[in-house]
Amino acid sequence: MSFKQKINQETLPQHIAIIMDGNGRWAKGFGKLRIFGHQNGVTAVREALEGCVEIGVKYLTLYAFSSENWNRPKIEVNALMELLVETLAKETKTFLENDIRLNTIGNIQELPQSCQTKLADTVALTQNNSRCVLTLALSYGSRAEIVDATKSIAKQVAEGKLKLEDINEKTISDHLYTVDMPDPDLMIRTSGEQRISNYLLYQMAYTEFCFSPKMWPEFTREDLFEAIYNYQQRERRFGKTSEQL
């Protein structure tokens, strides 16, 4: 029996976040440049997205380019930006045919203009789609996101639009980039690394983690289904005891 057949549709994660790690190391294993890994990683993105659509996961968020990734060699960064534009151009038809809405989080204004334009065009074209929301975290860092949220809240307090005593957890959530989506239920990281790398720090307070030994270009739809099945075997208590659930 496949993992897909074992999945309980009643307890699907609403939101899956993925750190797509291992492209460069995978390419190095073939004696290729790192960009070869990124290019092949596009297939894994398609597998994960189609898998989510297939079983009914509503939100998929991919850590596509972190704010720290700008420190990588310029040739790799430029190649990644070109790959992003090319991929969006190829996949727009797929988004429309499968009712997928594209969303972005992060400091998008830091991206090359060609990337900003293509992203904006694709977001606009898919804005009414509702089967699945694919969010690309680009030039994204969770600490910067929290700083931005803090500044926005402080500005409202200074302007008298918000009382200090009224600030609560929801206030913070409402000022994060992810305001329009639920917190991730499951976070998957490939390549065997076991850290969250400044990714959705506030949102993942009660997220279940899955660390896969596979490099991202090796990640398949069945690997996604296995991660979801294993997630469903866990007891999510949110601070309560088993008896209270």
Catalytic site positions: 21, 69
Which of 178, 231, 229, 210 minimizes the C-alpha distance to 21? Answer: 210
Give, rounded to a whole angstrom, the gap between the first and last alpha carbons of the chain.
29
Q: What is the dihedral sign for C-alpha 108, 111, 113, 114?
A: negative
Can you spell out the DSSP letters for 78-129? HHHHHHHHHHHHHHHHHHHHTTEEEEEES-GGGS-HHHHHHHHHHHHHTTT-
Q: Is 15 left (phi over 0), alpha (psi -120 to 50) or beta?
A: beta
